[in-house]
Amino acid sequence: MPFEIFDFDFVVVGSGLAGLNAAVKASEYGRVAVVTKGKLNESSSFNAQGGIAVAIGEKDNPKNHIKDTLMAGRGLCDPEAVKMLVVQGREDVNALIREGLTFDNRDGKLLFSLEGGHSTNRVIHLNGANTGKYITLYFAERVNNNPRIKIFENTFATGLLKQNGKVIGLKALNLLDEQNIAFYSPAVILASGGYSRIYERSTNPDTSTGDGVWLAAEAGTEIRDIEFIQFHPTAFYDGTKFTFLISEAVRGEGGLLLNSNLERFMPRYDEMNELAPRDIVAKAILSEMKKTRKDFVYLDLRHLNAKLFKEKFSNIANFLNTASIDFTKDLIPVAPAAHYTMGGIKTDLDGATNIPGLFACGECASTGVHGANRLASNSLLECLVFSERAVEKAKNLIGSKIEKCEKDLSPVFISSTMHDAYETLKIKVAELLTKSANILRKGENLKEALKEVKELKVGTTLDEYYSIKARSLKKLASMILKAAELREESCGAHQRDDFKQTRAEFEGHFTFKENEIYFERENEQESRLLN
Ligand code: SIN
């Protein structure tokens, strides 16, 4: 079947909040394609419970939000990016409110929740812990009703089209009818999400497999901080790989953590107790799990006002009900699970990558706002701010000359016989990452896991869908393991058994480019080439 060919002013890959906002904003300037491998409403943004952290409360101010974000990031945030996030984020959220998006309020006054690492109540919500769902539905409706936006669902991006060092479009495959599609466009905006789902236990939907990060890496884009993976402290645990996120906002309402001996332990670890930043809580939980030789701790909600809890956290209350847990009487078993990937495609403050024509925003991007540990509920804000900035920059490319070269268009096909091999590889990669590049890490384990990943067979069929996915997984896992091994310190979301302290010489970023890894430090001209 020959390629179907389209021309657009912008191609957006991904349909979480960053992708949808990028599409809406870009449609003000030109014609937009939204390419998404699942359905429009399938994303981590859709699942987000916490809300949007934004310094617009009467008792709050941007300085404090910046301070809390930098503190959570453990010295590895880009302060300029953080300032941009907080300051432009206020404008963006206020604009949404003016447009008519009604965040939870009492008599017109916004309700602000408290989450880990925030010095004040700062998180606004839509319909309690359903913020992600309602904000993505709000944007999806605007995308659906916009004649300048064309949506391509079930369409998997298979490669970036490049010409003279610039990105000029995207190749993709419709997973239902196996039609290959070429999208020519002077601006491709990747908003394809993170890669937490490549771990065994994750709070993310199955789609969070980092394909966009891989696509960018294959095209020679810089990939930064890929070893920084945030584990959410309180994912429901039932002894299997199943998870369900119990929002941090539940601890903001007074939820307590008990070890399996029913002792409250957080006061022993941090003065902010259950509301310490996420890295501290996750590590404390692991330490208690080890001490008590159990795979979980408990979240105790028995003392909370049940009626208010059900109102505010209807989705969590419904879930507990289906799991036959009566939260007014029973304790809830929880354990950390991969939740958010701080690193990804390196961008500047305008979402631009090192390759002209290629932009990234949302979780797939490394904008510099999260450092080694993201502050709770900063991610939806990041999606809003940096997708808009990317569009503002990308719009300058409209009208750029593109020379189509159809001989570059090699079609991708799906071979169902490759499916099982891919699934086996996926399980193996998840097991290796979970064992070695988890919260607790050790150099020799990382090295061993990397060796095993490198030995995994991914098939030689270049243009086959499952083989592409297998190569993507192998590459991502290798990059995570390599950077994690080289980072011989404990910092943010992870704890090294062999290097228990933070070390000044690692105050910088591991960055991959074209199969090489560099270490970059702030204000250092020369970065070190490591292999
Ligand atoms: C949560 O609700 O606990 C998750 C919020 C976030 O990850 O920012």
Domains of the chain in start order, with CATH, are 4-228+342-380+392-407 (3.50.50.60), 229-339 (3.90.700.10), 413-529 (1.20.58.100)
Please indicate whether residue 299 or residue 49 has the higher confidence score (pLDDT).
299
Kindly report the pTM of this predicted structure: 0.96
**Angle made by CA atoms 72, 196, 34, in degrees to the nearest 5:** 105
Q: What is the DSSP letter of 198?
A: G
The reported pLDDT for the residue numbered 90 is 98
Q: Are 249 and 123 in contact (CB under 8 A)?
A: yes
- The Cα 528–Cα 394 span in angstroms is 31
As separate numbers, helices (DSSP H) first and strands (DSSP E) second, the chain gives 14, 25
Rounded distance from Cα 512 to ligand 1 centre (Å):
28
- The Cα 147–Cα 521 span in angstroms is 45
| pLDDT(473) > 80 | yes
| pLDDT(245) > 70 | yes
The reported pLDDT for the residue numbered 404 is 87
The reported pLDDT for the residue numbered 528 is 75
| Annotated catalytic residue, options 197, 251, 278, 441 | 278
* Choice among 92-101, 105-114, 362-371, 518-527 with the minimum mean pLDDT: 518-527
Confidence of residue 458 (pLDDT cuts 50, 70, 90): confident
- The Cα 417–Cα 525 span in angstroms is 49
Rounded distance from Cα 383 to ligand 1 centre (Å):
14
Q: What is the DSSP letter of 501?
A: S
Which tens digits make up the pLDDT trace of 302-332?
Answer: 999 999 999 999 999 999 999 999 999 999 9
Rounded distance from Cα 223 to ligand 1 centre (Å):
24
- The Cα 13–Cα 33 span in angstroms is 8
Average pLDDT estimate for 34-53: 93
The reported pLDDT for the residue numbered 226 is 98
Residues with CB under 6 A from ligand 1: 49-50, 247-249, 340, 376-377, 379
Beta bridge partners of 491: 494
Rounded distance from Cα 49 to ligand 1 centre (Å):
6
Q: What letter represents residue 332's amino acid?
A: I
Mutation choice for ligand 1 from 69, 230, 232, CB with most ligand atoms inside 8 A: 232
Confidence of residue 531 (pLDDT cuts 50, 70, 90): low
The reported pLDDT for the residue numbered 22 is 98
Mutation choice for ligand 1 from 115, 131, 341, CB with most ligand atoms inside 8 A: 115
**Ligand 1 atom index nearest CA of 378:** 8
**Ligand 1 atom index nearest CA of 339:** 7
The reported pLDDT for the residue numbered 526 is 55
Q: How far is CA 514 from the centre of its chain?
A: 23
- The Cα 32–Cα 23 span in angstroms is 6
Mutation choice for ligand 1 from 113, 377, 383, CB with most ligand atoms inside 8 A: 377
| pLDDT(160) > 70 | yes
Which tens digits make up the pLDDT trace of 375-426?
Answer: 999 999 999 999 999 999 999 999 999 988 777 799 999 999 899 999 999 9
Examine the residue annotation and report whether 278 is marked as an active-site residue of this protein. Answer: yes
The reported pLDDT for the residue numbered 525 is 54
